Amino acid sequence: MEQFIEVKHVSKSFKISKRAKGIPGTIANLLVPKYEKKQAVQDVSFSIAQGEMVGFIGPNGAGKSTTIKMLSGILYPDAGEIKVNGYIPYKQRREYVGSIGVVFGQKSQLQWDLPVIDSFELLKAIYRIPEATYRKNLNRFMEMLDMVEFINRPVRQLSLGQRMRADIVAALLHSPKIVFFDEPTIGVDVVGKEKIRSFIRELNAEDKVSMIFTTHDMQDIEKTCNRLIIIDKGAKIYDGSIFGIREKYGTTRQLDVEFSENYTVEPIQNVEVKELNELDGRKKRFIFENTQVQIDALMNHLLQNYGIRDINVSEPEIESIIGKIYAGEVC
């Protein structure tokens, strides 16, 4: 598969003003400024094929925003190379920006007091979109995102979900080859989130648009992306599939059991249960490591020795796995 995005050994640091506290420190800093170096990104490498949908995540201050800004051409790296669709973003920004789209969940590119359609017409002029392409994209996206009812309404009158749908269309009218999504469903209700995610999946399948997501909502990534890149303290710490991160870090499993009566569950020979928690009524939760416990052995023991109404095995939520990675609880 052709590599659409190439990031090779990229690093980026910033100078941050360093001064002593109080008025004397302020005065001294004015006379003789002092700075300290903050390494935002350190020797990061990855490649993304055309049409891939990738989640790019990390805790606050991890370096993900700096990396995305270098990919979009806003910042240049101190070291390393970046190439996207044949362009060097920070050197060929004028030519490059016409091939990318950006969606910010907390910042709209629509004109607040104008109808949505007027903002679209303005973007058509800015990007010099041919009339046929503009009409084709507009009609298609309006239908896919169910926007007909509010296309002529001022942006300030839209719900958050409606505004986000309009912002996504605004980023796609010029048929970009790559789209950067920053919190694309923040604050949107459940129905609106699913509508946006469904649209993103369909667009990717049909048009092979490369997409990179930076978000704290792991559902956005689980329901759209097959690949996840995690960055922390400026360095890449994981690059692989969602399934792979569960296999590598999500080894804990839980078995929820509803018994037919109140039993005292005795320790099970050769089965090491990490935790046994009392739930509502006659329900109990067994927590164990799947690398150490055979689930069949645990279930067979319970079924043979106790009356059971219901039994269910579940994996840890992806959010809890990511949270443990951020907290340094897994390695």
In this predicted structure, what is the pLDDT of residue 19?
66
Give the number of C-alpha atoms closer than 13 A to the C-alpha of residue 133, restricted to the C-beta side: 12
- Residues 246-288: tens digit of each pLDDT: 888 878 888 899 999 888 888 887 778 877 888 877 898 888 8
Q: pTM for the complete prediction?
A: 0.81
pLDDT at 127 over 60: yes
Q: What percent of the chain has pLDDT over 70?
A: 94
Ramachandran bin of 234, using left for φ above 0, alpha for ψ from -120 to 50, beta for the remaining angles: left
In this predicted structure, what is the pLDDT of residue 330?
66
Structure token pair of residue 233: 């303290």
* Beta-carbon count within 10 A of 239 CB: 18
Mean pLDDT of the chain, nearest integer: 88
In this predicted structure, what is the pLDDT of residue 154?
95
CA separation for the pair 114, 157 (Å, rounded): 10
Secondary structure of the chain in HEC code, one letter for each residue: CCEEEEEEEEEEEEEEECCCCHHHHHHHHHHCCCEEEEEEEEEEEEEEECCCEEEEECCCCCCHHHHHHHHCCCCCCCEEEEEECCECCCCCHHHHHHHEEEEECCECCCCCCCEHHHHHHHHHHHHCCCHHHHHHHHHHHHHHCCCHHHCCCEHHHCCHHHHHHHHHHHHHCCCCCEEEEECCCCCCCHHHHHHHHHHHHHHHHHHCCEEEEECCCHHHHHCCCCEEEEEECCEEEEEEEHHHHHHHHCCEEEEEEEECCCCCCCCCCCCCCCEEEECCCCEEEEEEECCCCCHHHHHHHHHHHCCEEEEEEECCCHHHHHHHHHCCCCC
Domain residue ranges of the chain, discontinuous segments joined by +: 3-11+41-246, 251-314
In this predicted structure, what is the pLDDT of residue 318?
82
pLDDT at 43 over 90: yes
| Residue 138 banded pLDDT, cuts 50, 70, 90 | very high
Q: What CATH number has the domain spanning 3-11+41-246?
A: 3.40.50.300
